[in-house]
Amino acid sequence: MNQANHSRRDFEKKFAFVTGAGSGIGRSIAIEFAERGGVPLVTDRDASLVDEVVDTIRSRGGQASGMRLDVRDAQCLRDAIEACAELGGIDIVFNVAGTNIPRNVETMDEEEWQTVMETNLTSIFRSCKHAIPHMRRRGGGAIVNVASIAGVMAENRCGAYSASKGAVVLLTKNMAMDFARDNIRVNAVAPGSTRTPRTEQYWQRSPTGKSEAAELCPMKRSAEPTEIARPALFLASEDASYITGAILVVDGGLTAGFRIPTFDRM
């Protein structure tokens, strides 16, 4: 299921800017993009994670550059986009960096609200704002945002997270409309529960968390990072050449519908 398909080289000579690429879903996107011939600029706020991902890609024969970047820093984000353009160009932007502070509106403070909004939403506004002129000059490109099913349905105790991801969903559709004429496609993946270092931290704090997350889902398990990365890469690829403004829900059926236990017993 999760074996890499090394024979596919559909991103040959393509350059991508990837945020939050040090861990989990972003790491998986950067590594598989490189395995398929692309050259990612691996960025993350944690420099040691950036080095690990770049080393992994190079040790497998791929090409990558790395840069420490906290996406909440507007000037650094702009500089990183310019650096990516100078390294080879920007064909694809994967906006992956994200954070969650699980609190309700009453218990969340202003600073926490700003942290979630700036990391999950404002960073996407900024990276797209600065990347789009470069993509237009190259004749087009693709942007893939990582939203969440929490942006499609509200998630309890996650007011800021749900609001930020819901806004990512609509910003994705807005940009799809505004930049289609520039041959820039803009789409999002909306993952459900995915086994990444972030979720594993939650599961360590709450030992029943993993089985509870699995139980909610018709497929009775969380996704592996590659199972989110590959749909994201599909949206970035030529296979999705007529897809823009799409929100690809990748959640093992979690948001497909609701179950009536009585009917199961009939």
Ligand X SMILES: NC(=O)c1ccc[n+]([C@@H]2O[C@H](COP(=O)([O-])OP(=O)(O)OC[C@H]3O[C@@H](n4cnc5c(N)ncnc54)[C@H](O)[C@@H]3O)[C@@H](O)[C@H]2O)c1
Of the pair 165, 185, the CB lying nearest ligand X is at 165
User: Closest separation between CB of residue 25 and ligand X, Å?
Assistant: 4
Of the candidate spans 57-65, 94-102, 104-112, 258-266, the one that interacts with ligand X by CB under 6 A turns out to be 94-102
Judged by CB under 6 A, the residue of 11, 15, 24, 34 near ligand X is 24
Does the annotation count 161 as an active-site position? yes
Of 54-83, binders to ligand X (CB under 6 A) are 69-72
Work out whether 187 is an interface residue with ligand X (CB under 6 A): no
31 HSE (CA, 13 A, CB side): 24
Q: Give me the phi and psi of 16, to 5 degrees please.
A: -130, 145
For residue 126, the SS3 value is: helix
Of the candidate spans 42-50, 55-63, 103-111, 239-247, the one that interacts with ligand X by CB under 6 A turns out to be 42-50
CB atoms within 10 A of CB 153: 14
236 to 265: interface string for ligand X, x by CB under 6 A: ------------------------------
The sign one gets for the Cα dihedral 232, 236, 240, 245 is positive
Judged by CB under 6 A, the residue of 29, 97, 108, 232 near ligand X is 97
Judged by CB under 6 A, the residue of 127, 172, 199, 244 near ligand X is 199
Cα 82 to Cα 65: distance, rounded to the nearest angstrom: 14
Judged by CB under 6 A, the residue of 193, 226, 237, 244 near ligand X is 193
**8-state DSSP, 19:** S
- Sequence letter at residue 31: I
* Catalytic residue chosen out of the listed positions 161, 213, 235, 240: 161
**8-state DSSP, 223:** B
CA distances from 58 to 53, 61, 111 (A): 9, 5, 39
Of 70, 72, 93, which is closest to residue 81 (Cα–Cα)? 93
Q: Using CB under 6 A, list all residues that contact ligand X.
A: 19-20, 22-26, 44-46, 49, 69-72, 96-99, 119, 146, 148, 191, 193-194, 196-199
Q: Which residues are catalytic?
A: 161
